[in-house]
Amino acid sequence: MSVDMAELSKVTVTSRPAPGTTMGRALRAEWTKLRTSPGTLGLLLAVVAGTTGLSATVAAACSGGTCGADVALTGVQLGQAVVAILAVLAIGNEYSTGMFTVTLTAMPRRLPVLVGKAVVVAAMVAAAAAVAVAGSVVAGEILLPAYHATFRPAAGSVLYLVLIALLSLGIATAVRSPAAAIGTVLTVLYAVPIIVSVVTDPVWHDRFEKYSPVSAGLAVQATGPDPLIGPWKGLGVLALWTLAALLAGAILLKRRDA
Amino acid sequence: MSILRAEWTKFWTVRGWVLGTVAVAGLIMVFGLAPGMSGSCGKHGPASECKPLIGPAGVEVKDGFTFVHQPLSGDGSVTVRVASLTGEIFAGPGASRPGLAPWAKAGLMVKSGTTPGSTYAAIMVTGSHGVRMQWDFTHDKAGPSGSGPQWLRLSRAGQTVTAAASPDGSAWTEVGSTQLTGLPVTAEVGLFVTSPQYSTEFHEGLLNGSQGGPSLATGTFEQLTAEQGWSGTAWHTDWIGGKPDWSETPETEQEGSAFRVAGSGDVGPTGAGVSATQTLVGTFTALIAAVVLGAVFMSTEYRRGLIRMTLAAGPRRLHVLAAKAAVVGGVTFVCGVVAAAVVVVFGQRVLRANGVALLHTTTLTEVRLMVGTGALLAFSAVLALGLGALLRRSVTAVTVAIVTIVLPYLLAVTVLPVEAARGLLRFTPAAAFALQQAVKQYPQVDDLYAPAVGYFPLSPWAGLAVLAGWTVLVLGAAAVLLRRRDV
């Protein structure tokens, strides 16, 4: 409880007739909260370490030359889980500690709060993801003879991680319980692709590949011939899912009691 | 005991947890009963019905080969020199390239009749696995290795068939002998040649798979003699199991006791295929629900400070941890077993009704799939509970559990080459998915036994042992910390 009181005083201090718009103040508040909350730095470092580490490990396992060149960015599969934790905790922690009522007392307009969180989470994840993907690219260049860094898969992977973070934030806002939220997100990230992979009915398989968030989003990494969905179009599908999750979160946030 | 009851009461009175339990079972059933696959069996009239060929051991088998044979009664023996074995491999429509499939076979066989799937014993020269004795499709015994011409001998005494090999025709080594129950007094004896489908791996983008085609083998035999009670020279050729896989298989050529025989097909167990494992795909989603349940059941205590009250009521901390593990493990186990029982029994019917040629699973294996799914979920949930106690944060605990259990499997079935995938499924908690392997992998059939189609590197119980090992490790660390640190 002591932590909550400290946070309370901080928030009331910064929300005195302060300069700037509501949005600006919301941004600054969210930035301060996320930056100072214990674990954020560790999670950002874990995004980098996990992504680069897994990419390098897979590249080393593949150096015999039996894999396609796009395995260089496999680490994103692990990085996305850490990104999801960061995003879920950004709002889930407030729900589970009761901090959120305090936040909403200071910021009675709820949408700016969510937008502020989304912007701050997106910015932090973008920075970490850029470093992580760069690390993976370097590992691929060193370990995979067949690999040549290209712009689209690398930049697309950074955007992919940002979208996954926002998707997680939307889901966590809607679900409220952090554990249930991370369960839902991880189901989307890991279980759905596995289920899609065993659907052999060609029509349904293609539909799932094209329109499920992860398979479509990861199309941006593809370098092989003739993927089911174009790289940017695939990322667009993920962006739509993200938008839907954020909208659902926003509507529920506005309508229900915190 | 009272602690156990307290934990059980905590569990079933929280609505979210009961819903989570229902979700564990429900997710397995939803995905297991929804037909995600369709096939062509029985979909185009009665002629398209897929009737699997079942061998004497009760498993699906292939029985297609060229047989140069005659009926011979009572005891006796037959000897031949295999002078050479050469082959061709399918390389696109109308094209072929020279090459011998590793399991191309040429040798001697005694078989109860010409009906496919009937009992047999054989000694053979193979493409690259030396001399082998094989019988009743699933049995395989290695003889002398090495290539080059070989003398082979097959002898029958009652129901015992003995096989021997020799490099020169004078010094014989016994390869093995077996009892063939159901071998009639008059059996079909002679030369056989066959060559199985070959497959090679390919990696394209995020997809792994295999491609292949039929192959043809041609064996040249010299000095075929029936002796020691058997006699006769009226050898004639039959294609057992219908037309060979290779569309233009040459006819047998005979010159006295010398033969040139070509064959294509296989005599042995069926290779990799769709099995009951397919019906258990919902396990992945259920696993996540179980892991959330396990992690939250522990970390909730920390969140609201309930742990202080729990430990005040039951000051022996390890008993509290054990009781929690028992409750969450027990509940998820029961859910898993019940749901798996439903999908293994009914999901297979749904798939067959959808025209999928499903490999046959014995009842004992089906029971193992059910119990195994329950154990997989229970151990995962307890692992997550341990992580929850260790990390005191449910979100991190859930993610660590999922990333260590599900992500290795996902990587194994998507990006990793088969060898690296097998390595990963040996030591990560994902090894326990071996519990869901429904059909056996046979070394004498070359096929892509990849995790993606339900073949795992460890035996089912060894796989469970790996997950159990990780669970014990984490729970042990959690116990130590729970005792040592302040709550």
Residue in A77, A88, A199 nearest the CB of B36? A199
**Taking 90 as the threshold, does the pLDDT of residue A65 lie above it?**
no
**Taking 80 as the threshold, does the pLDDT of residue A77 lie above it?**
yes
B227-260 pLDDT, tens per residue?
A: 888 888 788 888 888 877 777 888 888 888 899 9
As beta bridge partners, residue B173 has: B165
**Taking 90 as the threshold, does the pLDDT of residue B310 lie above it?**
no
What average pLDDT score do residues A177-181 get? 89
Q: Would you state the structure tokens that stand for residue B38, as one six-digit string?
A: 């369709």
Return the higher-pLDDT residue of A194 and A247: A247
What residues in A contact B303, CB-CB < 8 Å?
96-97
CA distance A240 to A242: 5
Query: What is the nearest CA distance from B7 to chain A, expressed in angstroms?
Result: 20
B433-486 pLDDT, tens per residue?
A: 999 888 887 878 877 677 777 788 889 999 999 999 999 999 999 999 888 887
CA distance A157 to A200: 27
**Taking 60 as the threshold, does the pLDDT of residue B394 lie above it?**
yes
The residue whose two tokens read 């759905």 is: A192
Whether B289 has its CB under 8 Å from any CB of chain A: the answer is yes
Which residues are within 8 A (CB) of B258 and not within 5 positions of it... i.e. 6 or more apart?
B220, B221, B222, B223, B224
What average pLDDT score do residues B132-158 get? 88
Alpha-carbon torsion A125, A127, A130, A136, what sign? negative
Structure confidence at residue B329 as a pLDDT band (50, 70, 90): very high
CATH of domain B61-269: 2.60.120.560
Q: What per-residue confidence (pLDDT) applies to B101? A: 85
CA distance A29 to B44: 66
Q: What per-residue confidence (pLDDT) applies to B465? A: 96
Whether A218 has its CB under 8 Å from any CB of chain B: the answer is yes
CA distance B142 to B112: 23
A193-245 pLDDT, tens per residue?
A: 888 877 777 788 888 888 999 988 888 888 766 677 888 999 999 999 999 99
Q: What per-residue confidence (pLDDT) applies to B206? A: 45
Give me the residues of A, 186-215, that contact B with CB < 8 A: 186-187, 190-191, 193-195, 197-201, 204
What average pLDDT score do residues B289-301 get? 88
Query: What is the nearest CA distance from B178 to chain A, expressed in angstroms?
Result: 41
What average pLDDT score do residues B151-157 get? 93
CA distance B150 to B166: 6
Q: What per-residue confidence (pLDDT) applies to A1? A: 41
How many domains, chain A?
A: 1
Return the higher-pLDDT residue of B273 and A14: B273
Q: Which long-range contacts (CB under 8 A, 24 or more apart) does B168-172 make?
A: B169/B79, B169/B81
What residues in B contact A186, CB-CB < 8 Å?
288, 398-399, 402, 406
Q: What per-residue confidence (pLDDT) applies to B431? A: 92
Which residues are within 8 A (CB) of B289 and not within 5 positions of it... i.e. 6 or more apart?
A183, B20, B23, B24, B27
Could B205 and A201 be called an inter-chain contact, meaning their C-beta atoms sit closer than 8 Å?
A: no
Q: Can you give the residue range of the structural domain that contains A32?
A: 2-255
What residues in B contact A200, CB-CB < 8 Å?
36-38
What residues in A contact B433, CB-CB < 8 Å?
none
Cβ pairs bridging A and B (under 8 Å): 131
Q: What is the dihedral of CA B24, B25, B31, B33, to 10 degrees?
A: 180
Chain-wide mean pLDDT for chain A? 84
CA distance B294 to B288: 10
Residue in A67, A190, A198 nearest the CB of B417? A67
What average pLDDT score do residues A147-153 get? 83
pLDDT over 90 for what percent of chain B? 35
Give me the residues of A, 8-47, that contact B with CB < 8 A: none
Q: What per-residue confidence (pLDDT) applies to B391? A: 87
Q: Is B411:B249 a contact under the CB 8 Å cutoff?
A: no
Q: What per-residue confidence (pLDDT) applies to B443? A: 79
Chain-wide mean pLDDT for chain B? 86
**Taking 50 as the threshold, does the pLDDT of residue A156 lie above it?**
yes
What residues in B contact A61, CB-CB < 8 Å?
416-417, 420, 423
Helix extents (H) in A144-201: 151-175, 178-186, 192-198
Q: Is B135:B178 a contact under the CB 8 Å cutoff?
A: yes
List where CATH 2.60.120.560 sits in chain B: 61-269
**Taking 50 as the threshold, does the pLDDT of residue A15 lie above it?**
no
Whether B201 has its CB under 8 Å from any CB of chain A: the answer is yes
Q: Residue B442 to residues A36, B127, B270, B417, B424: CA-CA distances in angstroms?
A: 58, 17, 9, 20, 21
Q: What per-residue confidence (pLDDT) applies to A125? A: 95
SS3 sequence of chain B = CHHHHHHHHHHHHCHHHHHHHHHHHHHHHHHHHCCCCCCCCCCCCHHHCCCCCECCCCCEEEECEEEEEEEEECCEEEEEEEEEEEEEEECCCCCEEECCCCCCEEEEEEECCCCCCCCEEEEEEECCCCEEEEECCCEEEECCCCCCCEEEEEEEECCEEEEEEECCCCCCEEEEEEECCCCCCEEEEEEEEECCCEEEEEEECCEEEEEEECEEEEEEEEEEEEECCCCCCCCEEEEECCCCCCCCCCCCEEECCEEEEEECCCEEECCCCCCHHHHHCCHHHHHHHHHHHHHHHHHHHHHCCHHHHHHHHCCCHHHHHHHHHHHHHHHHHHHHHHHHHHHHHHHHHHHHHCCCCCCCCCHHHHHHHHHHHHHHHHHHHHHHHHHHHHHCCHHHHHHHHHHHHHHHHHHHHCCCCHHHHHHHHHHCHHHHHHHHCCCCCCCCCCCCCCHHHCCCCCCHHHHHHHHHHHHHHHHHHHHHHHHHCCC
Q: Is A76:A51 a contact under the CB 8 Å cutoff?
A: yes
Greatest mean pLDDT among A4-8, A88-92, B439-443 lies in A88-92
**Taking 70 as the threshold, does the pLDDT of residue A3 lie above it?**
no
Greatest mean pLDDT among A104-108, B73-77, B355-359, B467-471 lies in B467-471
Return the higher-pLDDT residue of A168 and A145: A168
Could A201 and B36 be called an inter-chain contact, meaning their C-beta atoms sit closer than 8 Å?
A: yes
ipTM: 0.84
B22-56 pLDDT, tens per residue?
A: 888 888 888 888 866 777 777 777 767 777 788 88
**Taking 90 as the threshold, does the pLDDT of residue A39 lie above it?**
no
Structure confidence at residue A13 as a pLDDT band (50, 70, 90): very low
Q: What per-residue confidence (pLDDT) applies to A2? A: 45
Q: Would you state the structure tokens that stand for residue B140, as one six-digit string?
A: 């395989």
The residue whose two tokens read 């960061």 is: A86
